[in-house]
Chains A and B, each alone.
Chain A
Amino acid sequence: MARFLLVMLAFTLSACSANWGWYVVNPQTKAGWTNLSFLLSGLKYTVLLSLTAILISIVVGLLVALPGLSSNRAMRTASRIYVELVRAVPILVLILWVYYGLPQLTGLTISVFWAGVIALALSDSAFEAEIFRAGIQSIAKGQYEAAYSVSLNYTDTMRYVILPQAIRRILPALGNQLVYMLKMSSLVSVIGMQELTRKANELVVTEYRPLEIYTVLVLEYLVLILIVSAGVRWLERRMQTDERA
């Protein structure tokens, strides 16, 4: 058994070494460097797209979550319907619908970037709404009562008392959504957005080196997301020192 595994390992390794062609992205050659900077040039759009979309989706998510917590039944139902509908549409389908369908409906042309932002933000907002709802519901009733007792109105109660506490609790979940957003932004490549995945696809077509180029792509996302994770953890630690004795 052990001998069989060793043989298999040797076979795999030799197969690998026979097929790798790292020259295609070797920064020490001129062509390799050009290819590499071409791949990396998508980074700006991936980051910009994801950040814009997550900011919008957080705002929309909050605006959907608040009526979902209302004592008014019609408001709760409206919020529920939004979440259920938007959550049911696959992101790729939403991207195609927003980019190709929405202009026909509205008569406005939408740039690839904004089509991507709208589709990603819309799709994510349903999830953000559920996260906010859970976070807000986890705050004790006594906090509202104390705020109302010092004569705060609903808006100030949410802004200064409830949301700051809720956001601390949902920060890990919000971080998750940002990571998810970074990954899902790769889907916007299908409508021609010049982000990381699109750049990789274009280079593969001219260089015929999918293994190396897509490996670089994997590493690009990996590094990006590790940085984001570290950032979210740092923020979590920073915000929670307040509350701990």
Chain B
Amino acid sequence: MPPDAPDAIIRFDSVSKYFGEFQVLKSIDFKAASGERIVVCGPSGSGKSTLIRCINGLESYQSGVITVDGVQIGQSVAALRKVRDQVGMVFQQFNLFPHLTVLENLMLGPTRARRLDPAQARAIAMKYLERVRIPEQAGKYPRQLSGGQQQRVAIARSLCMEPRIMLFDEPTSALDPEMINEVLDVMVELAGTGMTMIVVTHEMGFARKVADRMVFMDHGEIVETAPPEEFFTAPKSARCKDFLQKILNH
């Protein structure tokens, strides 16, 4: 999208982040339009996870400005809450609450943060459990589920907050191969609903099918950004070519 498009739901303006001396994000400029589906890829340690973790304030940043849906992150706790109400996140390690049942996992945010009454929260939880196709697991504890099921619960848990933006941080990297598709299918379906999605993944088949735009990161910089067609067939930079060669021909 053009740099100053008014409907950018996420904006990074020369954002830098350091872990001690090490600079993880180097003056990042990045924008996402409402409803846009962006896949972020790059070698490990390139800063792609850090980038998306900044969007809901799980990581702080030292310079520049991040704005999500008009709210600047880093200003106040209230602003951060406002952003988190709009942004769902799915983690590599699922991070379900092990002491709560699936249903309780899903209802916690709606009852405590959205202040819905339990009956409403339960209805929303069941709606999204059906959306991820495991309503029958509502009464189970996370440990009783397979990895693929756990990740689908985690997706449903985020959706219960009815966010405008969903972030996925390598959602299939901790899964056994035979469970990857059940999670990707849910994500493809979600992409069809017009949700703004930023996905860090190495699943290039998914990226081709779903992404409006590819972002390639290396050493804390956005090296290349292009529509998938162009990105996969004619990468411009040598680093990107090299990376694609490695992950597409393994």
Contact = CB atoms under 8 A, between A and B. Distances in A.
Interface of A: 140, 142-143, 145-153, 156, 160-161, 164-165, 168, 242-245
B81 interface: yes
Given A150-B108, A150-B161, A152-B109, A243 B93 contact: no
B143 A145 contact: no
13 contacts: A142-B91, A143-B95, A145-B58, A145-B95, A149-B158, A152-B109, A152-B112, A152-B113, A156-B112, A160-B112, A165-B97, A243-B98, A243-B99
Interface of A, secondary structure class, is: helix
Given A243-B143, A245-B144, A149 B56 contact: yes
B143 A143 contact: no
Contacts of A140: 95
B89 interface: yes
Contact of A244 (B96, B114, B143): B143
Nearest to B157: A150
B81 A143 contact: no
B58 A149 contact: yes
A150 B158 contact: yes
Contacts of A160: 97, 108, 112
A150 B91 contact: no
Contacts of A164: 99
Interface string B54-98: 001110000000000000000001000100110111010101111
A190 B87 CA distance: 61
B141 interface: yes
A148 B55 CA distance: 13
B10 to A, nearest CB: 16
Contacts of A161: 97, 108
A150 B84 CA distance: 7
Contact of B84 (A142, A149, A156, A245): A149
Given A145-B95, A161-B97, A243-B98, A152 B88 contact: no
B141 A245 contact: yes
Contacts of B88: 149-150
Nearest to B113: A151
Contacts of B143: 243-245
A201 to B, nearest CB: 46
B81 A146 contact: no
A243 B141 contact: yes
Contacts of A147: 97, 108
Given A148-B84, A149-B89, A242 B158 contact: no
Interface string B88-126: 110101011111000000001100111000000000000
Give me the 6 closest cross-chain CB pairs, A-B, nearest first: A150-B109, A151-B113, A146-B95, A142-B95, A149-B89, A151-B84
Nearest to B106: A150
Contacts of A151: 81, 84-85, 109, 113-114, 161
A123 to B, nearest CB: 31
A242 B144 CA distance: 10
Contacts of A243: 98-99, 141, 143
A156 B113 contact: yes
A146 B141 CA distance: 16
A41 to B, nearest CB: 42
Contacts of B157: 146, 150
Contacts of A149: 56, 58, 84, 87-89, 158
A145 B109 CA distance: 13
A37 to B, nearest CB: 45
B99 A168 contact: yes
Contacts of B77: 153
Interface string B140-175: 010110000000001001101100000000000000
B93 A142 contact: yes
A70 to B, nearest CB: 14
B95 to A, nearest CB: 4
A152 B105 CA distance: 12
Nearest to A168: B99
A211 B144 CA distance: 56
B84 A165 contact: no
Nearest to A142: B95
A133 to B, nearest CB: 20
